[in-house]
Structure 1
Amino acid sequence: MRILVADDHDLVRDTIAAYLDGADVEEVCTVATLQDAVSLAKSSGSFDLVLLDYNMPGMNGLEGLERMRAANEGRPVAILSGSATRDVATAALKAGAQGFIPKTLSARSLLTAARFMAAGEVYTPIEFLKTGGKGEDDILTRREQQVLQGICEGKSNKEIARDLDLQEVTVKLHVKTLSRKLEARNRTHAAMIGRDRGLI
């Protein structure tokens, strides 16, 4: 897996790159501007995942996301931020970001999220989806609804993974995420909540 980290703060950039140095990450490249990121993707070939700092020079809001996605040939591009609001996170996802990563994320969580996004899944931390006013069916992603459906049918993570053509570890992460969103104690409780609220 090849990952590109684009952030104008040296310490943040280097720390994130160090976090991502996992067994299945062959290469982590780092740049300080959007233009450098675009140029590198064009010259060295697209990356499995690009992490873009939302407030980096050249980004101009979410216009930078669109430029980077084009340069990376449509492959996963996610937004990094230390200060963006939930509205920005939501707008980024609607604009095609593969995920939204707070810079406060732990090393382990960041590596898990990177693998998740590189596999084509959308990642968003729970705190950005706690809306209060929105219904749970708006909070759950399409994939989470599919996993919840499998749980309600009494299927194991392994069976759900086979049905959805996913890795079992990916399904496990979806189960954990949707359970937290629904404030469920366990998968059985999540299934009960899902049925009670008509989410499936």
Structure 2
Amino acid sequence: MRILVADDHDLVRETIAAYLEKDNSMTVRQASSLDEALDAIKNEEGFALVLLDYAMPGMNGLAGLDAALRASDGRPVAMISGSANKAIAEQALQQGAAGFLPKTVAAKSMINAVKFMAMGEIYAPLDFMTQQETDNPATSHLSEREKQVLKGIAEGKSNKEIARDHDLQEVTVKLHVKTLYRKLQAKNRTHAAMIARDQNML
């Protein structure tokens, strides 16, 4: 089964593709923009599922989803995102998306979700769709996965240990750590842990 993964972040796109291709039933075509994805949808052999990044160039919010749905001629199109909230996910589903996948989803869950959507079912992770948006104001700007990684950092765990705890690839944890440094304005792991404790983030 052929899957199209469209995301402008090379490392993220290639990591997702690697996850999926570990399952021998899938081959992945990659695209780095909406225009490239639409070109592939229109001119290549039909894809069992198209995964579109919410924030990549050309998407213009959910307008890109509409364009991909029209081009796909009834085949499923789903959204992936590292930043979209529950409201955006709900709107995408209402517009006809086959599902919504946070980029923080575990590898096994992602593979299962892709197979599920390719069969014509609708997928959205229950924990994401039912989470409270602002449980703790100090961490409202962090995703659930970033909070988990930050907790691991504060506990002195390595990236490999955090990855094992949450069924992630180590490269994915590294991406979250880098994002946490930027969001917290932290210089290193120790600084990030100190900020988290000082601001009662844990």
Provide the identity percentage: 53
Query: Would you say the 8 A contact 1:6–1:30 is kept in 2?
Result: yes
Moved over 6 A (4+): none
For 2:51, the equivalent position in structure 1 comes to: 51
Distance 1:75 1:128 in 2: 25
Query: Would you say the 8 A contact 1:79–1:97 is kept in 2?
Result: yes
Q: Deviations over 1:164-195 (max 9, x none)?
A: xxxxxxxxxxxxxxxxxxxxxxxxxxxxxxxx
**1:69 shift after superposition:** 1.0
Query: Would you say the 8 A contact 1:65–1:97 is kept in 2?
Result: yes
For 2:14, the equivalent position in structure 1 comes to: 14
Q: Deviations over 1:26-78 (max 9, x none)?
A: x2000100000000111113210000000010001111001111111120000
Query: Would you say the 8 A contact 1:52–1:79 is kept in 2?
Result: yes
Residue identity matched to 1:117: M
2:28 counterpart of 1:28? yes
Distance 1:129 1:2 in 2: 27
Structure 1 runs not aligned, ≥5 long: 133-200
Normalising to structure 1: TM-score of the pair?
A: 0.64
2:97 counterpart of 1:103? no
How many positions carry a matched residue from both structures? Answer: 131
For 2:37, the equivalent position in structure 1 comes to: 37
Q: 1:44 to 1:108 in 2, by over 3 A?
A: same
Query: Would you say the 8 A contact 1:19–1:111 is kept in 2?
Result: yes
**Which stretch shows the higher mean deviation, 70-79 or 49-58?**
70-79
Question: Helix, strand or coil: the match of 2:121?
Answer: coil
For 1:84, the equivalent position in structure 2 comes to: 84
Distance 2:129 2:9 in 1: 27
**1:131 shift after superposition:** 6.5
Residue identity matched to 1:100: F
Query: Would you say the 8 A contact 1:89–1:128 is kept in 2?
Result: no
Distance 1:131 1:51 in 2: 23
**1:83 shift after superposition:** 1.1
Query: Would you say the 8 A contact 1:69–1:75 is kept in 2?
Result: yes
Question: Helix, strand or coil: the match of 1:87?
Answer: helix
Normalising to structure 2: TM-score of the pair?
A: 0.63
Distance 1:57 1:45 in 2: 24
Structure 2 runs not aligned, ≥5 long: 133-202
Q: 1:43 to 1:86 in 2, by over 3 A?
A: same
